[in-house]
Chain A
Amino acid sequence: MRIMKDHDNVMSAPVIDREVIDELYDLLEDEAHEVIQGFIDEGIQQAQGLRGILTSHTHLCRLAQRLKNTAAHLGAARLVTACRRLEKAAVQPEVAGREEMVGSIEAELATAVTALQDMTPADRAP
Protein backbone atom coordinates (compact mmCIF):
# COMPACT_ATOMS: atom_id res chain seq x y z
CA MET A 1 0.00 0.00 0.00
CA ARG A 2 1.21 3.49 -0.80
CA ILE A 3 1.05 5.88 2.09
CA MET A 4 0.47 9.52 1.24
CA LYS A 5 2.41 11.52 3.78
CA ASP A 6 3.32 15.10 2.93
CA HIS A 7 4.29 16.52 6.28
CA ASP A 8 5.27 14.51 9.36
CA ASN A 9 5.40 17.54 11.58
CA VAL A 10 2.47 19.91 12.00
CA MET A 11 4.88 22.85 12.32
CA SER A 12 6.26 22.08 8.90
CA ALA A 13 2.82 22.48 7.33
CA PRO A 14 2.69 25.14 4.63
CA VAL A 15 0.67 28.32 5.02
CA ILE A 16 -1.33 27.22 1.98
CA ASP A 17 -1.41 23.74 0.52
CA ARG A 18 -1.23 24.42 -3.23
CA GLU A 19 -2.82 21.09 -4.09
CA VAL A 20 -6.10 22.22 -2.53
CA ILE A 21 -6.17 25.46 -4.52
CA ASP A 22 -5.14 23.69 -7.72
CA GLU A 23 -7.96 21.20 -7.25
CA LEU A 24 -10.49 24.04 -7.06
CA TYR A 25 -9.08 25.60 -10.23
CA ASP A 26 -9.13 22.24 -12.00
CA LEU A 27 -12.76 21.66 -11.12
CA LEU A 28 -14.17 25.16 -11.33
CA GLU A 29 -11.80 26.92 -13.71
CA ASP A 30 -12.82 30.60 -13.93
CA GLU A 31 -15.24 30.28 -11.01
CA ALA A 32 -12.50 29.15 -8.62
CA HIS A 33 -11.35 32.68 -7.83
CA GLU A 34 -14.87 33.64 -6.75
CA VAL A 35 -15.19 30.51 -4.62
CA ILE A 36 -11.85 31.15 -2.93
CA GLN A 37 -12.82 34.74 -2.19
CA GLY A 38 -16.10 33.44 -0.74
CA PHE A 39 -14.21 31.14 1.61
CA ILE A 40 -11.88 34.02 2.60
CA ASP A 41 -14.82 36.31 3.39
CA GLU A 42 -16.52 33.58 5.37
CA GLY A 43 -13.33 32.78 7.29
CA ILE A 44 -12.83 36.45 8.24
CA GLN A 45 -16.44 36.68 9.40
CA GLN A 46 -16.15 33.49 11.44
CA ALA A 47 -12.88 34.62 13.06
CA GLN A 48 -14.44 37.95 14.00
CA GLY A 49 -17.10 36.12 15.96
CA LEU A 50 -14.70 34.19 18.17
CA ARG A 51 -13.81 36.88 20.71
CA GLY A 52 -17.44 37.48 21.62
CA ILE A 53 -18.07 33.88 22.67
CA LEU A 54 -14.86 32.97 24.52
CA THR A 55 -16.71 31.68 27.57
CA SER A 56 -19.39 29.75 25.71
CA HIS A 57 -18.09 26.21 25.36
CA THR A 58 -20.61 24.98 22.80
CA HIS A 59 -20.69 28.04 20.58
CA LEU A 60 -16.93 28.50 20.66
CA CYS A 61 -16.33 24.86 19.79
CA ARG A 62 -18.83 25.01 16.94
CA LEU A 63 -17.44 28.21 15.47
CA ALA A 64 -13.85 26.98 15.77
CA GLN A 65 -14.90 23.80 13.98
CA ARG A 66 -16.59 25.76 11.19
CA LEU A 67 -13.58 28.02 10.76
CA LYS A 68 -11.40 24.91 10.69
CA ASN A 69 -13.45 23.52 7.80
CA THR A 70 -13.34 26.83 5.95
CA ALA A 71 -9.56 26.93 6.43
CA ALA A 72 -9.21 23.35 5.22
CA HIS A 73 -11.18 24.16 2.08
CA LEU A 74 -8.64 26.91 1.40
CA GLY A 75 -5.71 24.57 2.11
CA ALA A 76 -4.71 26.86 4.99
CA ALA A 77 -2.95 24.15 6.95
CA ARG A 78 -1.53 26.25 9.79
CA LEU A 79 -4.85 27.95 10.33
CA VAL A 80 -6.47 24.52 10.54
CA THR A 81 -4.01 23.62 13.30
CA ALA A 82 -4.77 26.80 15.23
CA CYS A 83 -8.53 26.20 14.95
CA ARG A 84 -8.20 22.60 16.00
CA ARG A 85 -6.34 23.71 19.13
CA LEU A 86 -9.14 26.11 20.05
CA GLU A 87 -11.81 23.54 19.23
CA LYS A 88 -10.22 21.13 21.71
CA ALA A 89 -9.77 23.84 24.34
CA ALA A 90 -13.38 24.93 24.00
CA VAL A 91 -14.70 21.67 25.40
CA GLN A 92 -12.50 21.96 28.50
CA PRO A 93 -13.76 23.85 31.60
CA GLU A 94 -10.74 26.20 31.74
CA VAL A 95 -11.26 29.46 29.90
CA ALA A 96 -7.68 30.67 30.36
CA GLY A 97 -5.59 30.61 27.22
CA ARG A 98 -8.49 30.87 24.80
CA GLU A 99 -7.85 34.54 24.05
CA GLU A 100 -4.27 33.77 23.02
CA MET A 101 -5.50 30.96 20.84
CA VAL A 102 -7.90 33.32 19.09
CA GLY A 103 -4.98 35.73 18.64
CA SER A 104 -3.03 32.95 17.00
CA ILE A 105 -5.99 32.18 14.71
CA GLU A 106 -6.26 35.83 13.71
CA ALA A 107 -2.55 35.95 12.89
CA GLU A 108 -2.65 32.72 10.87
CA LEU A 109 -5.75 33.88 9.04
CA ALA A 110 -4.09 37.15 8.07
CA THR A 111 -1.03 35.27 6.81
CA ALA A 112 -3.19 32.82 4.85
CA VAL A 113 -5.28 35.59 3.27
CA THR A 114 -2.15 37.43 2.16
CA ALA A 115 -0.70 34.26 0.70
CA LEU A 116 -3.94 33.47 -1.12
CA GLN A 117 -4.29 36.95 -2.52
CA ASP A 118 -0.69 36.88 -3.72
CA MET A 119 -1.39 33.70 -5.66
CA THR A 120 -2.47 34.04 -9.23
CA PRO A 121 -3.58 31.32 -11.60
CA ALA A 122 -0.20 31.75 -13.29
CA ASP A 123 1.46 30.47 -10.09
CA ARG A 124 -0.25 27.15 -10.48
CA ALA A 125 1.80 24.14 -11.24
CA PRO A 126 1.44 23.01 -14.89
Chain B
Amino acid sequence: MTTTALQQDAPGRKPQILVVGDDRGTCDTISRILSKYGYAISTAGNGEEAVARCEQTVPDLVLLEAMLPDMSGYRACEALRRQADADVLPILMLAGLDDIAAVDQAFDAGATDFITQPINWSLLAQRVRYALRNRQRSPRVRDHDIALADITPADTAQAKPPGHWNIDPDSGHITLSEQARQLLHLASPQPYYTLAGMLGLVHRDDLARVNAALDNAISTGMPYQIDHRMVLADGTEIMVRQQGESARDAVTGLSRILGTIQDISGQDIGGQIQPQTTGTHA
Protein backbone atom coordinates (compact mmCIF):
# COMPACT_ATOMS: atom_id res chain seq x y z
CA MET B 1 0.00 0.00 0.00
CA THR B 2 1.26 3.42 -0.90
CA THR B 3 1.71 5.94 1.85
CA THR B 4 2.45 9.55 1.25
CA ALA B 5 5.01 11.61 3.05
CA LEU B 6 2.07 13.74 4.16
CA GLN B 7 0.39 10.80 5.86
CA GLN B 8 3.54 10.23 7.88
CA ASP B 9 3.29 13.76 9.07
CA ALA B 10 4.41 14.75 12.50
CA PRO B 11 5.00 18.21 13.90
CA GLY B 12 8.33 19.54 12.73
CA ARG B 13 8.73 16.78 10.16
CA LYS B 14 11.37 17.52 7.55
CA PRO B 15 10.07 17.61 3.96
CA GLN B 16 11.24 14.47 2.17
CA ILE B 17 13.02 14.80 -1.14
CA LEU B 18 13.94 11.97 -3.48
CA VAL B 19 16.97 12.73 -5.66
CA VAL B 20 17.13 10.50 -8.75
CA GLY B 21 20.22 10.28 -10.93
CA ASP B 22 23.38 8.38 -11.70
CA ASP B 23 25.79 11.31 -11.72
CA ARG B 24 27.14 10.66 -8.25
CA GLY B 25 28.84 14.02 -7.88
CA THR B 26 25.70 15.94 -8.80
CA CYS B 27 23.38 13.86 -6.61
CA ASP B 28 25.79 14.00 -3.70
CA THR B 29 26.11 17.77 -3.91
CA ILE B 30 22.33 18.23 -4.19
CA SER B 31 21.87 16.00 -1.14
CA ARG B 32 24.46 17.81 0.94
CA ILE B 33 23.17 21.28 0.10
CA LEU B 34 19.49 20.47 0.65
CA SER B 35 20.32 18.67 3.91
CA LYS B 36 21.85 21.88 5.16
CA TYR B 37 18.52 23.58 4.45
CA GLY B 38 16.69 21.05 6.61
CA TYR B 39 15.35 18.63 4.02
CA ALA B 40 15.42 14.86 4.49
CA ILE B 41 17.08 13.36 1.42
CA SER B 42 16.88 9.90 -0.08
CA THR B 43 18.44 8.89 -3.40
CA ALA B 44 17.72 6.50 -6.25
CA GLY B 45 20.29 5.67 -8.92
CA ASN B 46 17.84 4.97 -11.74
CA GLY B 47 14.25 5.42 -12.84
CA GLU B 48 13.08 1.94 -11.92
CA GLU B 49 14.32 2.33 -8.36
CA ALA B 50 12.67 5.74 -8.12
CA VAL B 51 9.31 4.38 -9.26
CA ALA B 52 9.56 1.44 -6.84
CA ARG B 53 10.38 3.72 -3.93
CA CYS B 54 7.46 6.01 -4.68
CA GLU B 55 5.16 3.00 -4.80
CA GLN B 56 6.05 2.48 -1.15
CA THR B 57 6.19 6.07 0.02
CA VAL B 58 5.50 9.18 -2.03
CA PRO B 59 8.01 11.88 -1.04
CA ASP B 60 7.18 15.58 -0.86
CA LEU B 61 9.25 16.32 -3.97
CA VAL B 62 11.32 14.51 -6.58
CA LEU B 63 14.44 15.88 -8.26
CA LEU B 64 14.96 13.85 -11.41
CA GLU B 65 17.86 13.80 -13.87
CA ALA B 66 16.75 13.70 -17.50
CA MET B 67 19.50 11.26 -18.43
CA LEU B 68 19.22 8.00 -16.53
CA PRO B 69 20.90 4.67 -17.26
CA ASP B 70 17.80 2.47 -17.53
CA MET B 71 14.72 4.38 -18.59
CA SER B 72 14.96 8.05 -19.52
CA GLY B 73 14.07 10.60 -16.89
CA TYR B 74 11.03 11.50 -18.99
CA ARG B 75 9.66 7.96 -18.88
CA ALA B 76 10.37 7.82 -15.17
CA CYS B 77 8.48 11.08 -14.76
CA GLU B 78 5.49 9.71 -16.66
CA ALA B 79 5.56 6.53 -14.55
CA LEU B 80 5.64 8.55 -11.33
CA ARG B 81 2.72 10.67 -12.50
CA ARG B 82 0.63 7.55 -13.12
CA GLN B 83 0.98 6.49 -9.51
CA ALA B 84 -1.79 7.13 -7.02
CA ASP B 85 -1.18 10.17 -4.85
CA ALA B 86 1.50 11.43 -7.23
CA ASP B 87 -0.70 13.83 -9.20
CA VAL B 88 0.29 16.79 -7.02
CA LEU B 89 3.83 15.56 -6.42
CA PRO B 90 6.30 18.25 -7.52
CA ILE B 91 8.78 16.71 -9.95
CA LEU B 92 11.68 18.97 -10.85
CA MET B 93 13.71 17.73 -13.79
CA LEU B 94 17.35 18.57 -14.34
CA ALA B 95 17.81 19.72 -17.93
CA GLY B 96 20.76 21.16 -19.83
CA LEU B 97 20.96 24.93 -20.09
CA ASP B 98 21.38 24.69 -23.87
CA ASP B 99 18.79 21.97 -24.36
CA ILE B 100 15.47 23.67 -25.02
CA ALA B 101 13.99 20.44 -26.42
CA ALA B 102 14.73 18.67 -23.13
CA VAL B 103 12.79 21.30 -21.22
CA ASP B 104 9.79 20.87 -23.54
CA GLN B 105 10.01 17.11 -23.17
CA ALA B 106 10.16 17.45 -19.38
CA PHE B 107 6.91 19.39 -19.29
CA ASP B 108 5.28 16.97 -21.74
CA ALA B 109 6.22 14.12 -19.40
CA GLY B 110 4.47 15.86 -16.52
CA ALA B 111 7.36 17.62 -14.81
CA THR B 112 6.33 20.48 -12.57
CA ASP B 113 9.38 22.55 -13.38
CA PHE B 114 12.96 22.23 -14.50
CA ILE B 115 16.32 23.11 -13.04
CA THR B 116 19.06 23.89 -15.50
CA GLN B 117 22.40 22.09 -15.53
CA PRO B 118 24.95 23.15 -14.49
CA ILE B 119 23.00 23.71 -11.32
CA ASN B 120 23.09 27.10 -9.67
CA TRP B 121 23.75 25.73 -6.20
CA SER B 122 22.88 28.98 -4.44
CA LEU B 123 19.39 28.93 -5.94
CA LEU B 124 18.70 25.23 -5.60
CA ALA B 125 17.08 25.41 -2.16
CA GLN B 126 14.89 28.31 -3.25
CA ARG B 127 13.63 26.42 -6.28
CA VAL B 128 12.76 23.48 -4.05
CA ARG B 129 11.01 25.73 -1.56
CA TYR B 130 8.92 27.34 -4.35
CA ALA B 131 7.88 23.94 -5.66
CA LEU B 132 6.94 22.70 -2.19
CA ARG B 133 4.96 25.84 -1.53
CA ASN B 134 3.01 25.34 -4.74
CA ARG B 135 2.37 21.73 -3.79
CA GLN B 136 0.87 22.85 -0.55
CA ARG B 137 -1.54 24.97 -2.56
CA SER B 138 -3.31 21.87 -3.78
CA PRO B 139 -6.67 21.38 -2.02
CA ARG B 140 -5.87 17.67 -1.63
CA VAL B 141 -2.73 18.51 0.23
CA ARG B 142 -4.47 21.26 2.15
CA ASP B 143 -7.03 18.72 3.42
CA HIS B 144 -4.26 16.98 5.33
CA ASP B 145 -3.94 20.19 7.30
CA ILE B 146 -0.22 19.95 7.78
CA ALA B 147 2.35 22.65 7.84
CA LEU B 148 5.62 22.00 6.11
CA ALA B 149 8.12 24.73 6.87
CA ASP B 150 7.45 28.06 5.07
CA ILE B 151 4.57 26.71 2.99
CA THR B 152 1.29 28.55 2.54
CA PRO B 153 -2.06 27.30 1.23
CA ALA B 154 -3.60 28.05 -2.14
CA ASP B 155 -4.51 26.00 -5.22
CA THR B 156 -2.69 24.73 -8.25
CA ALA B 157 -4.36 21.38 -8.68
CA GLN B 158 -6.24 22.49 -11.77
CA ALA B 159 -3.23 24.24 -13.19
CA LYS B 160 -2.71 24.10 -16.92
CA PRO B 161 0.77 22.95 -17.91
CA PRO B 162 3.33 25.74 -17.87
CA GLY B 163 5.21 26.98 -20.88
CA HIS B 164 8.77 28.13 -20.63
CA TRP B 165 10.76 31.08 -21.89
CA ASN B 166 14.39 32.05 -22.14
CA ILE B 167 15.59 35.64 -22.32
CA ASP B 168 18.97 36.71 -23.65
CA PRO B 169 19.37 40.04 -21.80
CA ASP B 170 22.15 41.05 -24.19
CA SER B 171 19.95 41.06 -27.29
CA GLY B 172 16.55 41.34 -25.63
CA HIS B 173 15.47 38.24 -27.55
CA ILE B 174 13.08 35.72 -26.01
CA THR B 175 12.57 32.16 -27.13
CA LEU B 176 9.27 30.55 -26.19
CA SER B 177 8.27 26.93 -25.89
CA GLU B 178 5.27 25.71 -27.84
CA GLN B 179 3.11 25.80 -24.70
CA ALA B 180 4.14 29.36 -23.88
CA ARG B 181 3.36 30.41 -27.45
CA GLN B 182 -0.08 28.81 -27.28
CA LEU B 183 -0.78 30.36 -23.89
CA LEU B 184 -0.06 33.81 -25.30
CA HIS B 185 -2.06 33.11 -28.49
CA LEU B 186 0.96 33.78 -30.70
CA ALA B 187 -0.07 32.24 -34.00
CA SER B 188 3.06 31.47 -35.98
CA PRO B 189 6.29 30.25 -34.37
CA GLN B 190 9.19 32.70 -34.58
CA PRO B 191 12.85 31.93 -33.89
CA TYR B 192 12.64 34.54 -31.18
CA TYR B 193 10.39 37.28 -29.85
CA THR B 194 11.43 40.59 -28.34
CA LEU B 195 11.37 41.41 -24.66
CA ALA B 196 9.68 44.70 -25.45
CA GLY B 197 6.96 42.86 -27.37
CA MET B 198 6.33 40.45 -24.50
CA LEU B 199 6.24 43.22 -21.89
CA GLY B 200 3.72 44.93 -24.18
CA LEU B 201 1.29 42.11 -23.35
CA VAL B 202 1.56 42.68 -19.59
CA HIS B 203 -1.40 44.55 -18.12
CA ARG B 204 -0.28 48.14 -17.73
CA ASP B 205 -1.17 48.19 -14.02
CA ASP B 206 1.12 45.19 -13.43
CA LEU B 207 3.98 46.27 -15.68
CA ALA B 208 6.04 48.02 -13.00
CA ARG B 209 5.95 44.92 -10.76
CA VAL B 210 6.95 42.60 -13.61
CA ASN B 211 9.80 44.89 -14.69
CA ALA B 212 11.05 45.13 -11.11
CA ALA B 213 11.02 41.33 -10.69
CA LEU B 214 12.88 40.84 -13.96
CA ASP B 215 15.47 43.52 -13.20
CA ASN B 216 16.06 42.05 -9.77
CA ALA B 217 16.57 38.57 -11.23
CA ILE B 218 19.11 39.94 -13.70
CA SER B 219 21.02 42.08 -11.23
CA THR B 220 21.02 39.73 -8.23
CA GLY B 221 20.52 36.33 -9.82
CA MET B 222 17.71 35.65 -7.35
CA PRO B 223 14.71 33.69 -8.59
CA TYR B 224 11.26 35.18 -8.49
CA GLN B 225 7.62 34.23 -8.69
CA ILE B 226 4.96 36.73 -9.60
CA ASP B 227 1.26 36.53 -10.48
CA HIS B 228 0.10 39.18 -12.93
CA ARG B 229 -2.35 39.90 -15.70
CA MET B 230 -1.63 39.73 -19.40
CA VAL B 231 -3.72 41.16 -22.20
CA LEU B 232 -3.57 39.06 -25.33
CA ALA B 233 -3.79 40.34 -28.91
CA ASP B 234 -7.55 39.70 -29.08
CA GLY B 235 -8.11 41.70 -25.88
CA THR B 236 -8.54 38.65 -23.64
CA GLU B 237 -7.19 39.19 -20.16
CA ILE B 238 -5.62 36.24 -18.37
CA MET B 239 -3.93 35.81 -15.01
CA VAL B 240 -0.54 34.13 -15.21
CA ARG B 241 2.02 32.90 -12.73
CA GLN B 242 5.53 33.59 -13.85
CA GLN B 243 8.70 32.17 -12.33
CA GLY B 244 12.18 33.12 -13.43
CA GLU B 245 15.79 32.70 -12.52
CA SER B 246 19.19 33.67 -13.83
CA ALA B 247 21.36 30.90 -15.30
CA ARG B 248 24.99 31.48 -16.11
CA ASP B 249 26.83 29.81 -18.99
CA ALA B 250 30.05 28.29 -17.66
CA VAL B 251 32.05 29.14 -20.76
CA THR B 252 30.87 32.53 -21.94
CA GLY B 253 30.01 33.84 -18.49
CA LEU B 254 26.80 35.21 -20.01
CA SER B 255 23.62 34.98 -18.03
CA ARG B 256 20.23 34.19 -19.39
CA ILE B 257 16.94 34.43 -17.61
CA LEU B 258 14.94 31.24 -17.78
CA GLY B 259 11.45 30.82 -16.55
CA THR B 260 8.00 29.40 -16.77
CA ILE B 261 4.62 30.97 -17.40
CA GLN B 262 1.35 29.33 -16.44
CA ASP B 263 -2.26 30.33 -16.97
CA ILE B 264 -3.86 30.43 -13.50
CA SER B 265 -7.05 32.20 -14.59
CA GLY B 266 -10.06 30.98 -12.69
CA GLN B 267 -8.06 29.33 -9.93
CA ASP B 268 -8.52 29.85 -6.25
CA ILE B 269 -5.28 31.47 -5.16
CA GLY B 270 -5.16 32.13 -1.46
CA GLY B 271 -8.93 32.34 -1.23
CA GLN B 272 -9.32 34.68 -4.20
CA ILE B 273 -10.65 33.54 -7.54
CA GLN B 274 -8.43 34.93 -10.30
CA PRO B 275 -10.11 36.67 -13.24
CA GLN B 276 -10.86 34.50 -16.23
CA THR B 277 -11.13 36.10 -19.65
CA THR B 278 -12.46 39.29 -18.18
CA GLY B 279 -12.89 41.38 -21.25
CA THR B 280 -10.53 43.83 -22.84
CA HIS B 281 -7.70 46.00 -21.71
CA ALA B 282 -8.75 49.62 -21.52
Binding site for B on A (CB under 8 A): 1-8, 10, 13, 17, 20, 23-24, 26-28, 31, 35, 38-39, 41-42, 62, 65-66, 69-73, 75-78, 80-81, 84
Question: B121–A27 contact, CB under 8 A?
Answer: yes
Question: B36–A27 contact, CB under 8 A?
Answer: yes
Question: A38–B250 contact, CB under 8 A?
Answer: no
Bound CA–CA A7/B251 (angstroms):
8
Question: A84–B251 contact, CB under 8 A?
Answer: yes
Scan B100-137; emit 1 where CB is below 8 A from any A CB, else 0.
00000000000000000111011000000000000000
Contact with B32, one of A7, A10, A35 (Cβ below 8 angstroms): A35
Q: Provide the main secondary structure of the chain A interface.
A: helix
Question: A35–B25 contact, CB under 8 A?
Answer: yes
Nearest residue (CB) in B for A84 is B251
Closest CB-CB distance, B52 to chain A, in whole Å? Answer: 24
B206 within 8 Å of A by Cβ? no
Interface size class of B (residues with CB under 8 A): 20 to 34
Question: A71–B250 contact, CB under 8 A?
Answer: yes
Nearest residue (CB) in A for B37 is A27
Nearest residue (CB) in A for B23 is A66
Scan B211-228; emit 1 where CB is below 8 A from any A CB, else 0.
000110011010000000
Quick check: which of B79-87, B140-148, B184-192, B252-260 contacts chain A, the rest being far away? B252-260
Bound CA–CA A125/B170 (angstroms):
28
Q: Provide the main secondary structure of the chain B interface.
A: mixed
Q: Which residues of B contact A27 (CB under 8 A)?
A: 33, 36, 121-122
Question: B28–A38 contact, CB under 8 A?
Answer: yes
Within B23-59, the residues touching A (CB, 8 Å) are: 23-26, 28-29, 32-33, 36
Bound CA–CA A41/B170 (angstroms):
36
Question: B25–A38 contact, CB under 8 A?
Answer: yes
Q: Which residues of A contact B250 (CB under 8 A)?
A: 17, 20, 71-72, 75-77, 80
Nearest residue (CB) in B for A81 is B251
Question: B28–A72 contact, CB under 8 A?
Answer: no
Q: Which residues of B contact A73 (CB under 8 A)?
A: 25-26, 29, 118-119
Q: Which residues of A contact B214 (CB under 8 A)?
A: 1
Question: A5–B121 contact, CB under 8 A?
Answer: no
